[in-house]
């Protein structure tokens, strides 16, 4: 509201600042902890849809409360407490008799556990295994993971997977009902079954990444965001299972691909093959991280699909770097030859260098293939 002189008063402008701060805090929490909160809320009841509903209500309550009372020191705990209370209220309205008693006991135990823990337990990995459970249709595992772990809405997911929002919403709803009705647990499988189940999780993440990668130019915001969310999930699995080489391999693979995004299209939008890409356009910080992950994975002594694909990407990076270095050397050499003659030796003797073996100096051996000489020099310059 404006004063008579057209200037906003400090009192009236302050709530706008507080609202912006509250919204910023809520968005940061949603980005950082949405899946963590959903996993904790649904861990006992297996009701993912109900957990999402009450968490959404908790965020709405936060946007109303925080501008007035300030952002809490632990916003995740604040949201969890409000969401739990709303979940209990919903269970009271929905259930009756013994069913209500059992449901309420589970929820009350969850509230007490949340109050007792200084830090909210991270059950996101268990939630991801539930999303990729064999009982869940393989085609909906990646979208389900993106919604319940990352927090993307059905409309954005449907757009990325080229499906109508209504159809995607129905498929997601059926998958969540399956988790609840079948009582699929939110847990990390035991060692003997971890390999097969982890493969389902990694395949779902890779499917999400591949869908986003169908827009290599990065012009489609939804698809670009999808690759970022897939990398977020891959990083999450690698952090929670740091000793699993395939988890490290998948993260490395996605980083290699994403690092080259800017170089895959020229200024006209045409595809540029890897051999012709300009490494200067690559994200070398991302590539360095991928290289370190490949080394960590190889040290585990167990090979797998994603490690192999990441190792192949590493070889491509090394090859492209070498070709660029050779090209630069050849360009410099060609400039020298233009002054010296066809093979670079007319009118000059080869530059001498120190021979470490005997301390004597001898002519430096040329590398004709790099210098571009073809007229007999290669035959005269034999390797020692």
CA distance 51 to 176: 11
For residue 146, tell me if it sits in a domain.
Answer: yes
Residues 57 and 152 in one domain: no
CA distance 188 to 178: 18
The two tokens of residue 243 are 């000793």
Give the model confidence (pLDDT) of 157-198 as tens digits: 888 788 999 999 999 999 999 999 998 988 888 877 887 789
Judged against a pLDDT cut of 90, whether residue 333 lies above it is answered with no
Name the band, by pLDDT with cuts 50, 70 and 90, for residue 313.
very high
For residue 382, tell me if it sits in a domain.
Answer: no
The pLDDT of residue 337 is: 47
More confident residue, 1 or 156: 156
Residues 268 and 310 in one domain: yes
Last residue of a domain, one of 74, 92, 121: 121
The pLDDT of residue 218 is: 54
For residue 353, tell me if it sits in a domain.
Answer: no
* Total domain count, the chain: 3
The two tokens of residue 205 are 């993440």
User: What are the residues whose beta carbons fall under 8 Å from the beta carbon of 58, sequence distance 6 or more?
Assistant: 79, 80, 82, 83, 86
Residues 168 and 127 in one domain: yes
pTM above 0.85, yes or no: no
Note down the domain range covering 12. 8-121
Residues 156 and 81 in one domain: no
The pLDDT of residue 352 is: 40
Residues 110 and 20 in one domain: yes
For residue 3, tell me if it sits in a domain.
Answer: no
For residue 313, tell me if it sits in a domain.
Answer: yes
The pLDDT of residue 289 is: 97
Across all residues in the chain, what is the average pLDDT?
76
The pLDDT of residue 48 is: 92
Last residue of a domain, one of 241, 260, 275: 241
The two tokens of residue 292 are 């370190």
Residues 237 and 260 in one domain: no
More confident residue, 172 or 329: 172
- In three-state form (DSSP H/G/I as H, E/B as E, the rest C), the secondary structure along the chain is CECCCCCECHHHHHHHHHHHHHHHHHHHHHHHHHHHHHHHHHCCCCCHHHHHHHHHHHHHHHHHHHHHHCCCCCHHHHHHHHHHHHHHHHHHHHCCHHHHHHHHHHHHHHHHHHHHCCCCCCCHHHHHHHHCCCCCCHHHHHHHHHHHHHCCCHHHHHHHCCCCHHHHHHHHHHHHHHHHHHCCCCCCCCHHHHHHHHHHHHHHHHHHHHHHHCCCCCCCHHHHHHHHHHHHHHHHHHHHCCCCHHHHHHHHHHHHHHHCHHHCECCCCCECCHHHCCHHHCCHHHHHHHHHHHHHHHCCCCCCHHHHHHHHHHHHHHHHHHHHHHHHHHHHHHHHHHHHCCCCCCCCCCCEEECCCCCCEEECCCCHHHHCCCCCHHHHCCCC
For residue 355, tell me if it sits in a domain.
Answer: no
Give the model confidence (pLDDT) of 134-144 as tens digits: 999 999 999 99
Residues 295 and 327 in one domain: yes
The two tokens of residue 35 are 């899946």
Share of the chain above pLDDT 70, in %: 69
Residues 145 and 228 in one domain: yes
Give the model confidence (pLDDT) of 226-278 as tens digits: 788 889 999 999 998 999 999 999 999 999 999 998 888 888 888 888 888 88
**Cβ density class 244-271: b for 16+ within 10 Å, e for less:** bbbbbbbbbbbbbbbbbbbbbbeeeeee
Residues 127 and 156 in one domain: yes
The pLDDT of residue 59 is: 95
The pLDDT of residue 88 is: 82
For residue 49, tell me if it sits in a domain.
Answer: yes
Residues 227 and 137 in one domain: yes
Report the pLDDT averaged over residues 320-324: 66
Give the model confidence (pLDDT) of 170-181 as tens digits: 999 999 999 999
């Amino acid at each position: 509201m404006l004063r008579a002189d057209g200037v906003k008063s400090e009192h009236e402008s302050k709530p706008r600042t507080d609202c912006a701060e509250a919204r910023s805090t809520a968005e940061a929490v949603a980005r950082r902890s949405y899946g963590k909160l959903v996993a904790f809320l649904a861990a006992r009841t297996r009701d993912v849809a109900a957990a999402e509903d009450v968490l959404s209500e908790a965020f709405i309550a936060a946007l109303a409360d925080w501008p007035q009372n300030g952002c809490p020191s632990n916003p995740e705990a604040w949201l969890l407490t409000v969401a739990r209370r709303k979940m209990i209220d919903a269970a009271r309205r929905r259930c009756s008799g013994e069913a209500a008693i059992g449901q309420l006991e589970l929820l009350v135990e969850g509230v007490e556990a949340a109050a007792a823990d200084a830090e909210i337990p991270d059950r996101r990995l268990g939630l991801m295994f539930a999303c990729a459970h064999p009982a869940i249709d393989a085609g909906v595992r990646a979208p389900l993971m993106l919604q319940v772990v990352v927090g993307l809405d059905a409309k954005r997911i449907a757009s990325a997977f080229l499906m109508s929002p209504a159809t995607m919403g129905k498929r997601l709803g059926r998958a969540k009902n399956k988790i609840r009705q079948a009582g699929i647990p939110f847990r990390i499988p035991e060692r003997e079954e971890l390999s097969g189940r982890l493969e389902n999780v990694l395949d779902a993440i890779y499917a999400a990444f591949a869908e986003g990668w169908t827009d290599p130019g990065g012009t489609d915001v939804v698809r670009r965001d999808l690759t970022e969310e897939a990398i977020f999930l891959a990083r999450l699995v690698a952090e929670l299972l740091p000793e699993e080489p395939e988890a490290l391999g998948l993260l490395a693979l996605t980083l290699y691909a994403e690092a080259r995004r800017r170089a895959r299209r020229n200024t006209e939008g045409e595809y540029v093959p890897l051999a012709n890409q300009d490494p200067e356009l690559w994200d070398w910080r991302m590539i360095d991280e991928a290289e370190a992950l490949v080394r960590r994975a190889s040290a585990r002594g167990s090979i797998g699909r994603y490690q192999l694909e990441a190792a192949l990407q590493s070889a491509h990076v090394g090859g492209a770097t070498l070709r660029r270095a050779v090209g630069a050397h050849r360009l410099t050499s060609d400039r020298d030859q233009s002054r010296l003659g066809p093979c670079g030796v007319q009118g000059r003797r080869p530059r001498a260098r120190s021979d470490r073996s005997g301390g004597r100096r001898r002519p430096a051996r040329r590398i004709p293939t790099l210098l571009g000489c073809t007229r007999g020099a290669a035959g005269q310059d034999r390797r020692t």
